[in-house]
């Protein structure tokens, strides 16, 4: 041991003392100089045997705890705070040599034994063999380097002592093959057998270099031949001190376009940097970023079945593509033992396609956009892991039909591709892509099926050795159908699907990361439909101008948001609260305030309306159970109140007494609130949801969605409604779809079975508007018929009974209905003549009939004429009159009628002023 450390220190000049410090090591004994040097440095003090005498016991075996102490002292007792919890099951905190042993572990010199169940043992009293001693010294000699010089918190990595990182000057004229490196002798003086040679990208090593030296043949004054064999990353980086996560650093990228492809000026090829043995840090996180445009006109051919396009027409194809990517590597090495390694590339492709077709066409056109070559590195401390990527991009268009059509589509798709190795288990990373920035436009005068897609296929190599191959293909497909009945205007549909086709493969070349799959190969192919819609339905047919064979569709401008509304808007929430949107777009609230649902901070309940600070430009408010949502004219949603089930959509469960914008959702035109969550309708006809009991497929499993997420299976939606734990969507074709709780038959499908995905409400068509209450739903049909289904304990279905209905029934005695509104045990109808009808629960006066008798049939609300809007709360209701006044009636325990009192009202009272019943 003494000789090992003395030699490791470089055999320093030292004169051994003439009198031995140890009684059992006589002057001139074997290793006398080394032992006394060890003592002089304080590395070993031996044993005190009394009477001022000490023994070294040179022939006794060294225990592992003593070895830790030797190396700790040899390192000059570095500053180190021992952990409060021991990393080893057999080394108690505070025990003998505890600081030295835990320092050894923290330095990665000894990891002990894994005995299962997450427990490791150090075995401090075991003797240390010569092979273990060699390993300790080898690891000790490793160079500790910052894992990320720009981020001290990233910790350190240990680089093997035999690693030689070659500089660009050494490799400028080097000749590198799979098993040799030839370079000038004056550049190879420090290279010796068993070294690990490492280099980034240089002129001599365009794929980087990671090899083990087998033999060195020198020709002084000439060249040196270095024979090599492949090495692995853990042979160079012998310890990472935990899981290291590194982002890719770009080195070079070049796009070679096809002849008819134009590369955007701001995405011109980046010149290769030939001196990248240790890559510089760029501000961009993209390992490549290229943009290009492509335009091509193809004519159909008759009598040539092998032609890409047959028929008598022509098609003009135009594509704009931006392809970029980030990359990430993880590495966890515990001294020559790989624990985890992964490489993920995350490409993001924005594809804008325009197809303009005339005449009869059938077939597919594929055009190559170009080839992309990129190089980037992952820096594991000073060791570059070099990655090169070669990709080919193709645009594909297929058509089938006879038409005059212009179709444009745009979307951005992002996905993860790669591999992961973790403690012996290997898996492919091929995550479901995400899509954003969706835009589509159609102009047509006949029918055509069109599909536009982009193929991005890449091969990723590590140090020039094939590792993974992946492909992603964002696509847009539509079937445009234009029809005209005799004497009627043209009508059309254009169901659209946007999605991604993903392909991922791997070969055994990734063993360079430190694990060997042998001849293992795998390929995974998946297709993900990400977005569906029918944006043409219900819109006027627009024909392309015949004088322009290649029109460039432009998005229809959105109307500018306006501050204010044509009339005031009132609504009530569950359990005693109400809200008003005023004509100027501001909001007032009244009632209880247990969870901050008034939106005015911490304050007592109030029985007269007061302002909700910080809100303007609001067009409507939706209220849940102690939570409220304001929908602004700019399409944003603001929320406040209880947040125990994430119903504020901000990713937390922190309740809030003032409004704040819900992030991650925009272009919203309506919100419907359940007890503990909400759904939102966007301009594109999609439905999003957050909170509890709102997510369709998970509606009855109490799964909480902390932020807004889109619902699948719903498109072309024009209106939404929500009950306490059920949801409803009205499609543009006049059908109603429902999902969630169905205990009272409120989904209207003839059963009481909960539905995890939307189901069509039976026996219902041509619906104009929908509303929902607590376990009950309502629909107004275009012919003025009012329908209802679900719970009927209080006669809230208005069919003259208290029988629950799992299928829609007609509300009796109603004709000339302008609007329907569902409440908590009540229903209301605004009639075209300006009067209002109410029915259902009436013990607190919610029907507005002037008494508290239960009503199973629609009954006039006393004293109301000239009404233009009706809305419901919990056992209470509000109307707005044509002159701008508002009335309220029903339950008032918390001041929710806004009349300045806490008295229940069986007949309407003036809202917003202290008064008496009309």
| Tokens 């290793």, residue located | 31
Range of the domain at 685: 569-910
- Which pLDDT belongs to residue 657? 92
CA–CA dist 670, 681 (Å, integer)? 5
Count other Cβ atoms within 10 Å, centred on residue 458.
Answer: 21
Q: Which of 44-53, 454-463, 735-744 has the highest mean pLDDT?
A: 735-744
**pTM for the structure as a whole:** 0.48
DSSP label at residue 334: B
pLDDT band at 704 (very low <50, low <70, confident <90, very high): confident
87 and 175, same domain (yes or no):
no
Find the mean pLDDT for residues 575-586: 90
**Is residue 515's pLDDT more than 70?**
no
Tell me whether residue 521 is in a domain: no
408 and 324, same domain (yes or no):
yes
453 and 322, same domain (yes or no):
yes
391 and 444, same domain (yes or no):
yes
810 and 761, same domain (yes or no):
yes
Does residue 143 sit in helix, strand or coil?
strand
Tell me whether residue 16 is in a domain: yes
CA–CA dist 546, 404 (Å, integer)? 9
> Per-residue pLDDT tens for 796-822?
999 999 999 999 999 998 988 999 999
Find the mean pLDDT for residues 20-28: 88
**Is residue 470's pLDDT more than 50?**
yes
> Per-residue pLDDT tens for 353-410?
777 777 677 777 777 778 888 888 888 888 888 888 888 877 777 777 666 666 677 7
Tell me whether residue 581 is in a domain: yes
Please give the order of strands across the beta sheet that includes 755-760: 717-722, 726-731, 736-740, 755-760
- Which pLDDT belongs to residue 268? 36
pLDDT band at 907 (very low <50, low <70, confident <90, very high): very high
Least confident of 152-166, 205-219, 602-616: 152-166
**Is residue 695's pLDDT more than 70?**
no
- Which pLDDT belongs to residue 344? 80
> Per-residue pLDDT tens for 64-122?
888 888 788 877 787 888 888 888 889 898 888 898 888 877 766 776 777 888 788 88
Tell me whether residue 113 is in a domain: yes
Tell me whether residue 619 is in a domain: yes
CA–CA dist 107, 351 (Å, integer)? 49
> Per-residue pLDDT tens for 521-563?
556 666 666 666 666 665 555 555 443 333 333 333 333 333 4
pLDDT band at 54 (very low <50, low <70, confident <90, very high): confident
Q: Which residues pair with 400 in a beta bridge?
A: 362, 449
- What are the counts of helices (DSSP H) followed by strands (DSSP E) for the chain? 7, 59
Number of domains in the chain: 4
CA–CA dist 334, 323 (Å, integer)? 37
Look up the CATH number of the domain holding residue 793: 2.130.10.30
**Is residue 693's pLDDT more than 60?**
no
> Per-residue pLDDT tens for 141-189?
556 677 777 777 777 777 877 788 888 888 888 888 888 999 888 888 8
371 and 449, same domain (yes or no):
yes
- Which pLDDT belongs to residue 831? 93
Measuring CA to CA, which residue among 312, 516, 485, 477 is closest to residue 402? Answer: 312
60 and 99, same domain (yes or no):
yes
> Per-residue pLDDT tens for 752-781?
988 888 999 999 999 999 999 989 999 999
Run of H or E residues at 135: helix 130-141
223 and 296, same domain (yes or no):
no
123 and 179, same domain (yes or no):
no
- Which pLDDT belongs to residue 525? 66
Find the mean pLDDT for residues 10-32: 86
DSSP label at residue 675: S
Least confident of 257-261, 405-409, 571-575, 853-857: 405-409
**Is residue 426's pLDDT more than 70?**
no
The torsion defined by the Cα of 702, 706, 712 and 713, in degrees rounded to 10, comes to 50
CA-based angle 578:579:582, to the nearest 5?
Answer: 150
With beta carbons less than 8 A apart as the criterion, state whether 57 and 50 touch: no
**Is residue 234's pLDDT more than 90?**
no
Question: Which CA distances in Å does 157 have to 79, 102, 206, 557?
Answer: 18, 17, 25, 55
pLDDT band at 276 (very low <50, low <70, confident <90, very high): very low
7 and 123, same domain (yes or no):
yes
CA–CA dist 883, 868 (Å, integer)? 9
Tell me whether residue 179 is in a domain: yes
Tell me whether residue 683 is in a domain: yes
What's the chain's average pLDDT? 79
867 and 774, same domain (yes or no):
yes
**Is residue 128's pLDDT more than 60?**
yes
**Is residue 269's pLDDT more than 60?**
no
The pair of structure tokens assigned to 232 is 């692995």
- Which of the pair, 307 or 619, is modelled with greater confidence? 619
Q: Given 466, 483, 506, which residue is the final one in a domain?
A: 506
Helical axes 64-74 vs 130-141, angle rounded to 10°: 30
Tell me whether residue 352 is in a domain: yes
- Which pLDDT belongs to residue 407? 66
700 and 573, same domain (yes or no):
yes
- Which pLDDT belongs to residue 520? 47
| Tokens 């096809």, residue located | 258
């Amino acid at each position: 041991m003494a000789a090992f450390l003395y030699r490791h220190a470089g055999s320093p000049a030292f004169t051994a003392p003439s009198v031995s410090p140890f009684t059992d090591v006589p002057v001139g004994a074997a290793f006398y100089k080394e032992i006394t040097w060890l003592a002089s440095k304080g590395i070993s003090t031996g044993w005190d045997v009394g009477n001022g005498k000490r023994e070294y016991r040179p022939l006794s075996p060294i225990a592992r705890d003593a070895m830790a102490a030797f190396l700790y002292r040899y390192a000059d007792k570095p500053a180190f705070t021992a952990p409060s919890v021991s990393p080893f099951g057999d080394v108690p905190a505070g025990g003998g040599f505890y600081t030295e042993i835990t320092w050894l572990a923290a330095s990665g010199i000894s990891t002990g034994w894994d005995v299962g169940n997450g427990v490791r043992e150090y075995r401090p009293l075991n003797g240390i063999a010569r092979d273990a001693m060699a390993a300790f010294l080898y690891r000790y000699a490793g160079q500790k380097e910052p894992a990320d010089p720009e981020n001290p918190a990233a910790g350190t990595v240990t680089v093997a002592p035999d690693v030689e990182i070659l500089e660009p000057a050494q490799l400028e004229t080097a000749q590198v093959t799979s098993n040799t490196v030839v370079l000038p002798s004056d550049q190879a003086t420090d290279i010796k057998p068993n070294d690990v040679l490492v280099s980034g990208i240089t002129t001599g090593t365009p794929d980087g270099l990671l090899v083990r030296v087998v033999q060195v043949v020198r020709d002084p004054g000439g060249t040196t031949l270095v024979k090599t064999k492949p090495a692995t990353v853990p042979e160079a980086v012998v310890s990472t001190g935990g899981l290291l996560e590194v982002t890719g650093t770009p080195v070079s990228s070049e796009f070679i376009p096809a002849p008819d492809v134009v590369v955007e000026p701001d995405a011109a090829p980046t010149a290769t940097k030939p001196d990248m043995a240790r890559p510089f840090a760029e501000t961009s996180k993209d390992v490549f970023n290229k943009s290009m445009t492509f335009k091509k006109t193809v004519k159909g051919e008759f009598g040539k079945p092998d032609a890409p396009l047959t028929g008598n027409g022509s098609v003009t194809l135009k594509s704009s593509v931006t392809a970029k990517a980030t990359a990430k590597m993880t590495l966890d090495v515990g001294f020559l033992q790989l624990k985890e390694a992964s490489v993920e590339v995350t490409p993001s492709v924005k594809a804008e396609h325009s197809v303009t077709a005339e005449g009869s066409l059938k077939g597919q056109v594929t055009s190559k956009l170009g080839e992309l070559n990129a190089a980037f590195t992952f820096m594991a401390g000073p060791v570059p892991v070099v990655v090169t990527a070669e990709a080919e991009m193709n645009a594909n268009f297929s058509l089938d039909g006879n038409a005059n059509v212009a179709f444009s589509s745009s979307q951005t798709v992002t996905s993860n591709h790669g591999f992961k190795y973790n403690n012996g288990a290997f898996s492919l990373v091929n995550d479901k892509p995400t899509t954003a920035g969706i835009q589509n436009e159609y102009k047509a005068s006949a029918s055509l099926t069109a599909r536009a897609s982009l193929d991005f296929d890449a091969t990723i190599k590590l140090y020039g050795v094939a590792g993974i191959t992946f492909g992603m293909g964002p696509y847009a497909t539509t079937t445009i159908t234009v029809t005209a009945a005799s004497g009627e205007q043209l009508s059309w549909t254009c169901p659209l699907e946007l999605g991604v086709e993903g392909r991922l493969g791997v070969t055994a070349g990734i063993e360079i990361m430190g694990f060997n799959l042998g001849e293992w190969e795998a390929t995974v192919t998946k297709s993900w439909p990400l977005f569906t819609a029918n944006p043409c339905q219900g819109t006027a047919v627009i024909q392309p101008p015949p004088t322009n064979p290649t029109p460039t569709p432009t998005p229809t401008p959105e109307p500018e948001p306006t501050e204010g509304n044509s009339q005031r808007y009132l609504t009530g929430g569950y359990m005693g609260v109400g809200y008003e949107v005023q004509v100027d777009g501001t909001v007032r609230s009244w009632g209880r305030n247990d969870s901050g649902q008034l939106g005015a901070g911490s304050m007592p309940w109030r029985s007269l309306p007061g302002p909700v600070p910080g809100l303007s430009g609001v067009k409507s408010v939706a209220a849940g159970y102690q939570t409220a949502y304001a929908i602004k004219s700019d399409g944003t949603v603001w929320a406040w109140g209880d947040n125990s089930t994430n119903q504020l959509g901000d990713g937390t469960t922190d309740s809030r007494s003032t409004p704040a914008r819900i992030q991650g959702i925009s272009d919203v035109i309506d919100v419907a609130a359940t007890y503990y969550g909400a759904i939102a309708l966007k301009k594109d006809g999609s439905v999003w949801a957050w909170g509890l009991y709102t997510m369709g497929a998970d509606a009855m499993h109490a799964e909480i969605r902390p932020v807004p997420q889109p619902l699948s299976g719903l498109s072309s939606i024009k209106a939404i409604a929500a009950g306490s734990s059920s949801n409803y969507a009205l499609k543009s074709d006049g059908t109603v779809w429902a999902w969630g709780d169905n205990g009272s038959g409120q989904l209207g499908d003839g059963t009481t079975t909960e539905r995890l995905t939307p189901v069509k409400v039976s026996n219902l068509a041509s619906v104009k508007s929908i509303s929902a209450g607590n376990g009950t739903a309502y629909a107004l049909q275009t012919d003025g018929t009012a329908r209802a289904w679900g719970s009927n304990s209080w006669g809230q279905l208005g069919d003259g009974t208290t029988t629950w209905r799992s299928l829609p029934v007609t509300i009796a005695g109603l004709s000339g209905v302008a609007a329907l509104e569902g409440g908590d045990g009540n229903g209301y109808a605004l009639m075209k003549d300006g009067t209002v009808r109410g029915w259902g629960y009436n013990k607190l006066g919610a029907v507005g009939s002037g008494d508290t008798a239960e009503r199973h049939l629609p009954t006039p609300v006393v004293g109301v004429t000239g009404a233009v809007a009706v809305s419901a709360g919990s056992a209470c209701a509000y109307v707005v009159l044509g002159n701008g006044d508002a009335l309220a009636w029903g339950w008032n325990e918390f001041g929710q009628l806004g009349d300045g009192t806490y008295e229940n009202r069986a007949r309407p009272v003036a809202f917003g002023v202290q008064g008496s019943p009309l």
